[in-house]
Structure 1
Amino acid sequence: MKLTWFTRKGIIYLPVSIIGWIILIIALAYAVFTFIDIDKRSHSVSDTLINFVFNLLLIGLVYTLIAFFTEKRPVPEIIER
């Protein structure tokens, strides 16, 4: 079974199915939750941003890995001689 949840536009993966949209919404919601949690425990703006950027990179990495393995790839054309 071929999974096609995302398609690639440049360096960005866009969802093309309902599962892809759900994954994107979960990633964004988790990023917001992480920011709020870090902001509660930090003492300065720079402390918040430094800790949030690392978590945002991890969330982006997981999203990109899921999208890479479930993207819609073009079918290579077979050239007959």
Structure 2
Amino acid sequence: MKLNWFTRKGIIYWPASIAGWVILVLATAFAIYSFIDIDSRSHSVSDTLTNFVFNLLLIGLVYTIVGYFTEARRKGD
């Protein structure tokens, strides 16, 4: 079964279907929630950003993996 949820434009995976858009919105919402949660427990700006960057990298990694396995590939690929 071939899933065509994303298309690749350079190094970014853009949503190509409703499922792709849902995944993008969920990833963005989780990143915002994660930032607010970390910020509420942090004591400084650097503490917030240091902890948030790690979470943002993990969210980006999962999004990229999902995009890689569900992208619409061209005929020659």
TM-score by length of 2: 0.98
Aligned pairs, number: 77
Query: Which residue is 1:22 aligned to?
Result: 22
Structure 2: tracts of 5 or more residues without a match: none
Structure 1: tracts of 5 or more residues without a match: none
Query: Which residue is 1:62 aligned to?
Result: 62
Q: Structure 2: how far apart are the matches of 1:39 and 1:74? A: 42
Runs of 4+ more than 2 Å apart:
none
For residue 13 of structure 1, give the secondary structure of its aligned residue in structure 2: strand
Q: Structure 1: how far apart are the matches of 2:52 and 2:2? A: 35
Deviations along 1:27-69, one digit per CA (max 9) or x if unpaired, are 0000000000000000000000000000000000000000000
Shift in Å, 1:76: 1.6
The alignment status of 1:2 with 2:2, answered yes or no, reads: yes
Q: Structure 1: how far apart are the matches of 2:26 and 2:59? A: 10
